Every structure is written in C-alpha cells, then in structure tokens.
Amino acid sequence: MALVAGVDCSTQSTKVLICDSETGAVVRQGRAPHPDATEVDPTIWWDALRSASDGLLDGVEALAVGGQQHGMVTLDADGEVVRPALLWNDTRSAGAAAELIDELGGRQAWADAVGVVPVASFTITKLRWLATNEPAAAARTERVVLPHDWLTWKLSTNADPTTDRGDASGTGYWSGATGEYRLDLLRRAFGRDVGVPEVKKPDAIVGHTADGIALAAGTGDNMAAALGLGAGPGDVVVSLGTSGTVFAVAEGPTTDPSGFVAGFADATGRFLPLVCTLNAARVLTAAADLLGVDLDRLSELALASTPGAAGLTLLPYLDGERTPDLPDETGRLTGLTRANARPEHLARAAVEGMLLGLADGLDAVRQHGVPVRRALLIGGAALSPAVRAVASGILGVPVEVPAPGEYVALGAARQAAWALSGAAEPPQWPVAAQRAPETNPADYSAARDRYAQFRTAVVELSTQPNKS
C-alpha cells in the first residue's frame, strides 16, 4: 500500500492526513492551530505544518498542500519573507480594489481579463496596498507567492517556488480562460514587475522533499475540497469554515461583472465558479460567546426556535463582508421585539443569517449555468446539528453531509496520489454522504424576503456619501 499525504493550511489551522493512495482511506492524521489574525508570519504556518505532521510522514511517497486562497506572501532577493502575509480576510486593501476597478475601465474589463472583479481578498489588491502604504517593503519584494506555493517550496529542495492553476486563478493576475498570467495587470497594481511562480499542470510532480517524498503541485483550499469530494455535475459544495463558500466544478470559465461569482479554475483542468462570504463558522462562535454557551448548546437553542427565528434577522457581516462587497460593514440585527428577545431566537438568527448569504450565493452560481442537484455541506460548522437541520430549507435544494472529514486535506492527498500514479485521471476515492433532514423551503420564504430587503437597504446605505 503506497501512502500519500495531504495538507490543509486553512485560516484557523493546519491539518494533515495520511491516506492509502488506492482507496483514500485515512490511516493517520494531525492538526495544529493558527493565530486569529488577518496578517500572519508564514513561518507560523511552517511550524504548524511541522507540528501537525510530526511523526506521520514515515513511508509517505507523495504529498500535496492545499492552502487558504489569495494570501500575499512577499519574498526578497534571497527568498526571505519581506513582511507578514496579508490573508484573504484582511480588508485593508478595499480602497486599492476600487482604484484598480476604475483604472481598468470598470468591472466588466476585469471579469473579461481574469475572470474576477477585484475585492480586498484578492492578491492583486494587496500588492497595490503594499506599493502605496509600505514602499520600503515593496522595494524589497522580488517575488510574490501564495500560502500553498510557499509551503510547497519550503518542503522542497527546489530553487524556485511553483503554483497551480486553481490557486493562480485567485490572484487577479492570472486568467483561467487563457491559462496565462496577465503581467500587465500585476505591473499596473504594483508599479513595476515582480516575479511570479510557474503554473504547473494539475497532475505534475513539482519536486521532492529532502527525504525524497514527491511533491504534487498543491492548490487552493476550495479547489482541493472539490477534488477531495470528487464533486461532479449537479453537485454544489457549501463550505462553512472561516469563510462561507459555494462552488461547483464547471467545464468552462464563467464571467460575472458584478463580481458576485468569482471565475476560478479548479485543480483538474476544469473551472470552479465560486461565491465567498467572509463570515461563516465564526458567526456561530460569536453568537455562542454572546449567549455564554458552547457550540453544542447554541445548536440546541437554535433548534428550539422556529423557521424565521420569530422575526429576528441577522446580517452576519461581523468581520466586514466580501459578498456583497461591504468591507467596512458590521453585523446588524433587526426585528427585535420584547416577545422574540430570547436566546433561542438569537441562536437561530445566527444559524439562519450565516446560511442566508450562502443561499444567495447558490442562486448566483445557478444563474451562471451550474446545474444544482444537491448541496454537499462541509467545513467545521457543518458539524452543527442546527445547521444541518436548517440548510435544505434555506438553500432550497436537497442537502447531503459527507462523513465528517477534512476534505481539503483529502483533496490534496488525492492530488498527490494522482501525481504519483502517472494516470490520466485522479484515483477513484469513495466518499460516503448522509442526507440532511428535509425541510420545506416555503417555511423560510419570509425569512429570505426579510433578509433580502435588509441586505439591499444596507448596500444602498453603504453607497451614500454620509453613511451611518
């Protein structure tokens, strides 16, 4: 039995799975936490990877890294990190995003050029922010790479970092439709040329560790999750980690000038239209903290309420929001009365608010021609019984919950097995899934309407000159 390893360097932690390369069975696993911050010294990820994989890699023949998308890792001429990485959920480059949209002639121009419209999450806006705000650090920057590129390079004996098309498609300077960098856009953002990693094929072996473990190309965490789930036609993945994401594997590129649906590439040579919200699992931890309960009790409370949370609606923009693009917003609660001011309704409003933004995302992905037969619910908050109970009613589609697991790390391991095999397609790894309780979407139509009205009002308010 050949063993392969998959790594997930996500926002809150690093996870490592060691799998049988033929069946995908997990034989051992490890994890290590990351700090709660939106800029992180990449050596923290390296230490977390070493800690999470400590004692696990004996006998492993190939490894791949899946990583949180978009993070800006800047390297100097000696390959040293210039400054802490700015993560996907750092909103300081929102102004840079607006500048870049204007300079290129609007949203459509960006969607046509690279399949995405700049928001603060994307690497290209962080580079503009760096050039404007930290000229000394910018001057020292010779290369820019993504979290998974940097970790793969650190693991390797290679002289230069590499990347893959999935993660490259989230930079804002690589086009999935053409498979080429747009170095003119990178130059426009940063003010001069800066080195970028070579984009390797999905099944490539890109190097080896000092111990001789083959390294596959790796990819972004959402692309890895799609691979780990073996997502196919009709499957829409709803991932409830730090971010909330809704995505599907598509045969062709998508273009959305509104910027709602990002036209990413996947990790197999296909595409991955994706909607991402900045606020998912942590909405539940914040609500639990507010109520002074743990996550299990929060779920029990939410289940004690009813669809629509007795009229309470939460716009869950606790860390600002990306979709819709409201980086400076805060969470807002409406509909509070003396009758519904109860812990169970607040708990329910948190669960529903988190899912309602993703229901909008699912509709948007569907409008881009993605067939939706079922939603696959993954990520830390998919462990919540209340989330599972409410999901199908709010999303309006049958929901299946894959057996609890680390699907990003599993997808990375599957990529490693594919690269090791030299086969044309990734190995077939079965994924067991359970149907979540069916709830009637009609029970949530009033809640969806209220949420839509509240969201529209807040979007309008944000565009007024003296917004409150």
Ligand X SMILES: O=C(CO)[C@@H](O)[C@H](O)COP(=O)(O)O
Residues at the binding site for substrate are 69-70
Q: Which of 29, 222, 255, 305 binds ligand X (CB under 6 A)?
A: 222
Q: Which of 93, 123, 219, 245 binds ligand X (CB under 6 A)?
A: 245
Which of ligand ADP, ligand X, none is residue 222 near (CB under 5 to 8 Å by kind)? ligand X
CB of 429 to ligand ADP, least distance (A): 20
Take residue 124 and report the two structure tokens written for it: 């290209």
Three-state DSSP class for residue 252: coil
Which of ligand X, ligand ADP, none is residue 415 near (CB under 5 to 8 Å by kind)? none
Residue 334 touches ligand ADP, criterion: CB under 6 A: no
DSSP 24: -
In the annotation, is 221 catalytic?
Answer: yes
Cα dist from 48 to 16, 18, 408, 418, whole Å: 10, 16, 16, 25
Q: Is 180 left (phi over 0), alpha (psi -120 to 50) or beta?
A: beta
CB of 113 to ligand X, least distance (A): 18
Rounded distance, CA 178 to CA 180, Å? 5
Question: Would you call 174 exposed, middle or buried from its count of C-beta atoms within 10 A (0-12, 13-18, 19+)?
Answer: buried
Q: Are strands 271-277 and 262-265 parallel, antiparallel or unpaired?
A: antiparallel
Alpha carbon 106 to chain centroid distance? 25
Q: Which residue's CB comes closest to ligand ADP? A: 380
Residue number, 118 or 427, with CB nearest to ligand X:
118
Residue number, 91 or 268, with CB nearest to ligand X:
91
Cis peptide before 437 (omega within 30 of 0): no
Q: Which of 219, 242, 277, 340 binds ligand ADP (CB under 6 A)?
A: 242
* Owner of token pair 């990583």: 67
Which of ligand X, ligand ADP, none is residue 439 near (CB under 5 to 8 Å by kind)? none
Three-state DSSP class for residue 452: helix
Rounded distance, CA 125 to CA 325, Å? 14
Which of ligand X, ligand ADP, none is residue 93 near (CB under 5 to 8 Å by kind)? none
Which of the residues 343 through 402 are near ligand X (CB under 6 A)? none
Residue 295 touches ligand ADP, criterion: CB under 6 A: yes
Which of the residues 380 through 409 are near ligand ADP (CB under 6 A)? 380-381, 383-384
Residue 353 touches ligand ADP, criterion: CB under 6 A: no
Cα dist from 187 to 48, 100, 146, 181, 393, whole Å: 33, 12, 17, 11, 46
Which of ligand X, ligand ADP, none is residue 380 near (CB under 5 to 8 Å by kind)? ligand ADP
Which of the residues 411 through 450 are near ligand ADP (CB under 6 A)? none
Q: Which of 243, 299, 313, 415 binds ligand X (CB under 6 A)?
A: 243
Residue number, 172 or 220, with CB nearest to ligand X:
220
Of 199, 94, 258, 78, the C-alpha closest to 86 is: 94
Query: Which region among 111-119, 140-148, 282-290, 452-460 touches ligand ADP (by CB under 6 A)?
Result: 282-290
Q: Which of 3, 4, 7, 11 binds ligand X (CB under 6 A)?
A: 11
**Binding-site residue ranges:** 69-70
Take residue 399 and report the two structure tokens written for it: 């929901």
Take residue 427 and report the two structure tokens written for it: 């190995």
Question: Do residues 344 and 301 touch, judged by C-beta distance below 8 A?
Answer: yes
User: Which candidate in 167, 221, 235, 319 is catalytic?
Assistant: 221
Cα dist from 91 to 38, 88, 121, 387, whole Å: 9, 8, 7, 27
Residue 38 touches ligand ADP, criterion: CB under 6 A: no
* Owner of token pair 């419209």: 117
Helix 94-104 / helix 183-190 crossing angle, nearest 10 deg:
120
Cα-flanking dihedrals φ and ψ of residue 353, to 5°? Answer: -60, -40
Residue 68 touches ligand X, criterion: CB under 6 A: yes
Residue number, 353 or 361, with CB nearest to ligand X:
361
CB of 68 to ligand X, least distance (A): 4
Question: Do residues 124 and 113 touch, judged by C-beta distance below 8 A?
Answer: no
Residue number, 275 or 314, with CB nearest to ligand X:
275
DSSP 400: E
Query: Which region among 178-186, 240-248, 363-371, 399-407 touches ligand X (by CB under 6 A)?
Result: 240-248
Which of the residues 76 through 115 are near ligand X (CB under 6 A)? 88
Catalytically active residues are: 221
Binding site for ligand ADP (CB under 6 A): 10-13, 241-242, 281-282, 284-285, 295, 379-381, 383-384
Q: Give the residues lining the site for ligand X (CB under 6 A).
A: 10-11, 68-70, 88, 121, 170, 220-222, 241-243, 245, 274, 276
